[in-house]
Chains A and B, each alone.
Chain A
Amino acid sequence: MDLSCVYVVVPAYNEGSAVHDVVREIRLDFPHVVVVDDGSRDATAAEAKKAGAVVLRHVLNRGQGAALQTGIDYCLRRGADVVVTFDADGQHRVEDVHRMLAALETTGADVAIGSRFLDLQSNLPAARRLTLRIATRFMRLTSGVPLTDAHNGLRAIRRSAAQRIRITLDGMAHASELVDQIDRHDLKVTEVPVVIRYSEYSLAKGQSSFAAIRIAFDYLFKRIFR
Chain B
Amino acid sequence: MTTFQLVTLPILVAFVIGTAIVAARRRMTPRLGIAWMLLWLAAAVAIAFPELLVELARFLGIGRGADLVFYVSILGTFLAFFLTYLRFRRVEDQLTEIVRHLAILNAEGEDKSPR
Interface residues, chain A, with chain B CB atoms under 8 Å away: 36, 39, 54-60, 62-63, 66, 69-70, 73-74, 77, 168, 170, 225
Q: Size range of the interface on B?
A: 10 to 19
- Which of B96, B104, B106, B107 has a CB less than 8 Å from the CB of A170? B96
B102 near A59: Cβ-Cβ < 8 Å: yes
Q: How far is the CB of A44 from chain B (nearest CB, A)?
A: 13
Instruction: Say whether chain B's binding surface is mostly helix, strand, loop, or mixed.
Output: helix
Report, nearest first, the 10 A-B pairs whose CB atoms are least far apart.
A56-B103, A70-B100, A66-B96, A62-B96, A58-B99, A56-B107, A74-B104, A60-B99, A70-B103, A62-B99
CA–CA, A101 to B108, complex, Å?
A: 27
**Is there an interface contact between A54 and B107, defined as CB atoms closer than 8 Å?**
yes
Q: How far is the CA of A39 from the CA of B60 in the complex (A)?
A: 54
B67 within 8 A of A: no
Judge whether B95 is part of the interface by a CB distance below 8 angstroms. yes
Which chain A positions have C-beta within 8 A of B102? 58-59
Q: Are A59 and B99 in contact (CB under 8 A)?
A: yes
Q: Which of B92, B99, B104, B106 lies in contact with A77, CB distance below 8 A?
A: B104
In Å, the complex CA distance between A73 and B103 comes to: 11
Contact partner, B93, options A39, A55, A168, Cβ 8 Å: A168
Residue of B nearest to A70 (CB): B100
Instruction: A170 to B86: give the CA distance in the assembly, Å.
Output: 15
